[in-house]
A and B are shown apart, each in its own frame.
Chain A
């Protein structure tokens, strides 16, 4: 298990910092707080925001990464979402997509249901699980310095990459993106594929 450090990072600042350098990357935030974090950082047609599908975020990113091998694909699940889909880490490990990054925004809580502790609050080390599943590069981030040091992992280093980012439970205002799923899908596909989206 990972050595416990004091948690100081604020989730909104973390997600804004990561997305500042997104370039042409495709971004898949998980339901709840990570989706609100990406909305707070600025809505974007190549961010597929989710209002459900808990446990499926990393797998959406895998399908996308296999379909778009020349694009960087960044999944941003929360810790509850990632814990619900732990098997997907094994599946990603066996596929080994070099363009895929799974970065967990880990506040050690189920935020939408009343801030109950998740298993990461009780010692489960997601980075260790990802490493054992075959991710090529892994890190756990506790500080701004760690985050800056990890930036090449997000957009440069050969993946699959797994980064666990420990963030505080300090409350942040809800910033809600559009929620019609079919519309979000069409918007994403049109931005990525152009007219081919509707063939």
Chain B
């Protein structure tokens, strides 16, 4: 049985971190886990929100943003990580800062078997591509983790992914 729960507090906390970091370009492929955050960014007067046809587009877009003096963030689901792999070469060769907030599928009690492979491989794939990964599995730790990741990205010019686990998001279940 699915019970209606109050909206979690951490999406607003992430929004406040991004605003404080002066993030101006928010690229995303629509995702349930990020829906609250995306709506807040869309209402912001200081942020442009860019809906992508594939996560891969977000990597060069945020490189271009940085070339032009803007900070950005890429919001996606773990299944989108695989779409980005070749373009990580641009990030690593040029050492572009890259902040990715990834909502996980396919790990904690996943219902859909087709999500499992990419979910299980998300972290190893990112690490093989030179991306620093921060896991977060507790709602109370999401905001501080995103803040720490943002500092590493924009002050140390690194690529960092925050992997927001299904224990935070709840596991999607089609069987009602």
Contact = CB atoms under 8 A, between A and B. Distances in A.
B65 interface: yes
A116 interface: no
A153 interface: no
Nearest to A62: B61
A178 interface: no
Nearest to B59: A56
Question: Which of A53, A182, A193 gathers the greatest number of chain B CB atoms within 10 Å?
Answer: A53
Contacts of A54: 86
Interface stretch (B91-99, B113-121, B122-130, B139-147): B91-99
Nearest to A180: B93
B72 interface: yes
Contact of A52 (B24, B53, B64, B90): B90
Contacts, number: 115
Interface string B26-69: 00000000000000000000001011111011111111111111
Given A66-B70, A87-B54, A182 B63 contact: no
Given A63-B25, A185-B95, A52 B65 contact: no
Contacts of A9: none
B87 interface: yes
Given A52-B93, A66-B25, A28 B64 contact: yes
Contacts of B63: 53, 56, 60, 63
B62 A63 contact: yes
Interface in A36-87: 48, 50, 52-57, 59-68, 85, 87
Contacts of A53: 60, 63, 86-87, 89-90
Size bracket of the A interface: 35 or more
Contacts of A193: 69
Interface stretch (A90-98, A106-114, A144-152, A169-177): A90-98
A63 B94 contact: no
A181 interface: yes
A63 B65 contact: yes
Contacts of B69: 67-68, 189, 192-193, 196-197
A28 B95 CA distance: 17
Give the dominant DSSP class at A's interface.
helix
B60 A57 contact: yes
Interface residues of B, number: 32
A55 B57 CA distance: 8
Contacts of A60: 60-61, 63-64, 67
A63 B93 contact: no
B93 A67 contact: no
Contact of A185 (B48, B59, B70, B94): B94
Given A55-B56, A56-B87, A57-B60, A68 B68 contact: yes
Contacts of A52: 89-90, 93
A124 B58 CA distance: 25
A91 B57 contact: yes
Contacts of A197: 69
21 contacts: A26-B68, A53-B63, A55-B86, A59-B58, A60-B60, A61-B64, A63-B25, A63-B63, A63-B67, A63-B70, A63-B72, A64-B67, A67-B24, A67-B67, A67-B68, A88-B57, A181-B94, A185-B94, A185-B95, A192-B67, A192-B69
- Nearest first, the 5 A-B pairs at minimum CB distance are A63-B64, A67-B68, A56-B60, A87-B53, A181-B94
